[in-house]
Amino acid sequence: MQKRSLVSISDYNKEEYLEILRVAAEFERNPDRDILAGKVAGVLFFEPSTRTRLSFETAVQRLGGSTIGFADASSSSVTKGETLKDTIKIVNSYVDLIIMRHPLEGSARYASEMASVPVINAGDGANQHPSQTLLDLYSIQKTQGTLENLKIFMIGDLKYGRTVHSLLMAMSYFNPTFYFISPDALQIPVEYKIFLHSRGIRFYEYPEFIDIIREADIIYMTRVQKERFSDSVEYEKNKNAYVLTNAILENTKSSVRVLHPLPRVNEIDVDVDNNPKAYYFTQALNGMYVRQAIIAKALNLTDAL
Ligand code: CP
């Protein structure tokens, strides 16, 4: 069987994104299929998670497979000083697939090089979160009917927000225009601006909400991530930078949808939850179907779907 890890969103090409969206739609129609009978996934979370871990675990179980692993590295032998390399080599010998979240950027690539089974990156530090990106693409396509030529507003922590980094790379295949709204200290890193320039993708940067938001197709809110700041004063200064309210959404297009990878702290007012433009809870549900598709692809099981 061909090993097919997903470490960075650039491990897939445009056709493979579209393949994942097609297969995810199949799973949305019928999520309970026995294609993983007899298979075991190692689910290793060295960082907290609700959606990613539980949707991956549910995805495996709905496909007839089972999971082993940990939700908290403090219950593993990492606390005794075991290295990531040894942890991966051991788990690799028990399972058919590894799904891993780790705080260190590059850890997922390293794990994929140590393992003989496919590794799916469930988030590595501020670097990449490719399964989130694919569920974001799925949510964008479902709500807009297309991925092409959209105006996408990304708001909040664009420096440490790994979901933002993966999403802009994936969307670059579909001729988007990006509007980045962030405090100075949390601007999109320069390497992503260079990437967008190299692809001829238009982008604009603003320090605050702007009127042009009325033209948005997608408003992608992000949390200011306390856990990524080494300086707590800097976090306190930026944590309440933007709060999306129904008043801000009032003059936006009826077709606009608000996405957020979640968890939310206070960057989306809870009143927005009842606004038909809010899509973040359905977006999280979409994650399960998309992760079923990613797992099926990692194990070369998509042909029958
Ligand atoms: N979106 C996301 O990664 O959520 P969790 O941290 O809860 O997995």
Q: How confident is the model at residue 2 (pLDDT cuts 50, 70, 90)?
A: low
- Together in a domain, 121 and 200: no
**Would the pLDDT of 1 be above 60?**
no
- The structural domain count of the chain equals 2
Whole-angstrom CA distances from 45 to 57, 117, 133, 230 are 12, 17, 19, 22
C-beta 297 within 6 A of ligand 1: no
Q: Is residue 231 part of a domain?
A: yes
Any idea which residues carry the catalytic annotation? 51-52, 80, 101, 129
> Residue 230 pLDDT more than 90?
no
**Ligand 1, closest atom to CA 123?**
3
Q: Is residue 1 part of a domain?
A: no
Question: Residue 123 pLDDT more than 80?
Answer: yes
Same domain, 74 and 141: no
Give the distance (Å) from ligand 1 centre to CA of residue 119. Answer: 18
pLDDT band at 305, cuts 50/70/90?
confident
In the predicted structure, residue 80 carries a pLDDT above the cut 80: yes
Do 179 and 278 lie in one domain? The reply is yes
- Are 144 and 280 part of one and the same domain? yes
pLDDT number for residue 281: 98
Tell me: do 37 and 94 sit in the same domain. yes
Indicate the pTM of the whole model. 0.94
Give the CATH number, domain containing residue 141.
3.40.50.1370
Q: Are 104 and 202 contained in the same domain? A: no
pLDDT digits (tens, 9 = 90+) for 283-297: 999 999 999 999 999
pLDDT digits (tens, 9 = 90+) for 93-118: 999 999 999 999 999 999 999 999 99
In this structure, are 259 and 135 located in the same domain? yes
Residues 134 and 279 in one domain: yes
Same domain membership, residue 111 and residue 30 = yes
> Are both 135 and 278 inside the same structural domain?
yes
The answer to whether the CB of 207 is under 6 A from ligand 1 is: no
Has residue 61 got a pLDDT over 60? yes
Which ligand 1 atom sits closest to the C-alpha of 262? 1
Structural domain of 188: 130-284
Q: Are residues 207 and 233 in the same domain?
A: yes
Average pLDDT of the residues of the chain: 94
Atom of ligand 1 nearest to the CA of 287: 1
Q: Where is average pLDDT lowest: 82-91, 123-132, 288-297?
A: 123-132
